[in-house]
Amino acid sequence: MKKSKSPNKKNNRFYPREECGIAGVYNIPEAANFAYLGIYALQHRGQESAGIVSTDSQLLYRYAGMGKVNDVFNSAKLKQLTGHMAIAHNRYSTTGASFLRNAQPIRFESRLGTLSLAHNGNLTNAWNLRKQLEQSGSIFQTTVDSEVIGHLLAKSSADNFEGALIESLCKIKGAYSLLLMTRDAMYAVRDPHGFRPLALGRKDDGWVVASETCALDIMDATYERDVQPGEMLIFDKSGVRSVFPFEKSTQNLCIFEFIYFSRPDSMIFEQSVYNVRIELGKILAREAPVEADIVISVPDSSNVAALGYSRESGIPYHMGLIRSHYIGRTFIEPDQKIRDFGAKIKYNAIASVVSGKRVIVVDDSIMRGTTQRKIVTMLKTAGAKEIHVRITSSMTKYACYYGIDIPSHSELIASSHTLEEIRKYLRVNSIAYLSIDGMEQAAGKQRNYCNACFSGNYPVPLGEMEAESYSNQKNLFEEYGVEEH
């Protein structure tokens, strides 16, 4: 018998993973309860830990735990998180090991009072700032890059919170959609490039901010608009104020949010994820047509794009792969090896659909290629006559420094293999990726997207020092190994 495997940690490592979802609630009774609904709806963005900090304008109440939102919180705990304001966070760790201590929102005492913050994104100069802050006497108790923001705030020379926040944010580089909370006010900020999404909604007399609009839907809040790249929103007694405190910068919205991460029922960057995915499929069908009998998707992230491909090509869409939603934390493999076990616990091919057919398989991206290879085997075993792989993104060749857990350069199959080599590795009849132009066309030409993981053109270039910083931050404490829970 093999040792237990955690599919989240190992088998699925080849999937890009978003690090967090955040939600903030201002001036709504039972704010913590709504914040809870918000991160419940954002669980696809991270299931390792969940936390909420609320305030009744006197104290900041915090509860956080490892695991899924529903496992961490219960009715009794939510009841203790009183007040009309709350921020919440669920995360999958990209930087910082999987410790409870790293769970957000962070809460800390400082010169500026008791503060709390929740961060989605990744800071490219966190390690350098950390080392500088340590030199000036700061101590770090977590391994998340977000802790740096707390120290910058506390060390700022500004004489009020807003000033301190602007001063601090001007020092950090990289990707951040950020929620902060004092006893009196909530702040929502999006970095000047706008890498990660952040949506603004209304509910009754209050406001809601969340990574995706699906979190607004579950709260019965109305989507107003996005927090703009470089915008800071301040929610306090005097209402809502919008400030643009940063130098102008190019927009660099993460196109992977459309391709893979976001829920298809969300609006992201003020567009429907569903519609963009339909377009991705349609353009791919035009760019890379192939004669075949059916179009299937690798569920669930590619379902909509496959439908688009089918629509454009006229080749019928079918559900040839079924995905299990019961995987859970551990999975035990017998000693006797089972073929393609890692893929089998997640997918099953339907022979009656694919048998004897020329099959187009639409998938969102290829990282290492190992899972796709197993899926191909499953489809062949189920009788597929031909297999044509169609990817709704370009070749993923470069690491992401802005908050997406893409494998390192050396592990990405496309960074060291030609298209033909990948085709052979997957043992398929043909393979095609969508062009960068095709992706951007689907996502809307009127906006500017970050395509660094495909092109290597990093909008926030990493100097030598930053590159080292980033990798150091990633390794930081990596072998801490054990921690409390």
Nearest to 380 by CA among 441, 328, 339: 339
Cβ 418 to a copy of itself shortest distance, Å: 33
Q: By CB under 8 A, is residue 446 in contact with a copy of itself?
A: no
Cβ 322 to a copy of itself shortest distance, Å: 4
Q: Which stretch binds a copy of itself (CB under 8 A): 214-222, 240-248, 253-261, 432-440?
A: 214-222
Q: Is 20 a catalytic residue?
A: yes
Cβ 274 to a copy of itself shortest distance, Å: 5
Q: Which of residues 277-316 bind a copy of itself (CB under 8 A)?
A: 303-304, 307, 311, 316
Cβ 108 to a copy of itself shortest distance, Å: 4
Cβ 390 to a copy of itself shortest distance, Å: 19
Rounded Cα distance between 265 and 84, Å, is 28
Q: Which of residues 223-252 bind a copy of itself (CB under 8 A)?
A: none
Cβ 369 to a copy of itself shortest distance, Å: 22
Q: Which stretch binds a copy of itself (CB under 8 A): 78-86, 167-175, 181-189, 288-296?
A: 78-86
Q: By CB under 8 A, is residue 80 in contact with a copy of itself?
A: yes
Q: Is 201 left (phi over 0), alpha (psi -120 to 50) or beta?
A: beta
Q: Which of 242, 324, 416, 457 binds a copy of itself (CB under 8 A)?
A: 324
Q: By CB under 8 A, is residue 61 in contact with a copy of itself?
A: yes
Q: Which of residues 106-145 bind a copy of itself (CB under 8 A)?
A: 106-111, 130, 134-142
DSSP code at position 5: B
Cβ(55)–Cβ(103) below 8 Å: no
Give the burial class of 380: count Cβ atoms within 10 A of its Cβ; 0-12 exposed, 13-18 middle, 19 or more buried. Answer: middle
Which run of H or of E encompasses 85?
Answer: strand 85-91
Report the residue number, 219 or 413, with the smaller CB distance to a copy of itself.
219
Which run of H or of E encompasses 389?
Answer: strand 386-391
Q: By CB under 8 A, is residue 3 in contact with a copy of itself?
A: yes
Q: Which of 14, 26, 40, 470 binds a copy of itself (CB under 8 A)?
A: 40
Q: By CB under 8 A, is residue 219 in contact with a copy of itself?
A: yes
Q: By CB under 8 A, is residue 59 in contact with a copy of itself?
A: yes
Rounded Cα distance between 456 and 409, Å, is 10
Q: Which of residues 326-385 bind a copy of itself (CB under 8 A)?
A: 326-332, 334-336, 338-339, 344-345, 348-353
Rounded Cα distance between 371 and 347, Å, is 10
Contacts of 283 (CB under 8 A, 6+ apart): 312, 434, 438, 441, 442
Give the burial class of 204: count Cβ atoms within 10 A of its Cβ; 0-12 exposed, 13-18 middle, 19 or more buried. Answer: exposed
Cβ(71)–Cβ(454) below 8 Å: no
Known catalytic residues are 20
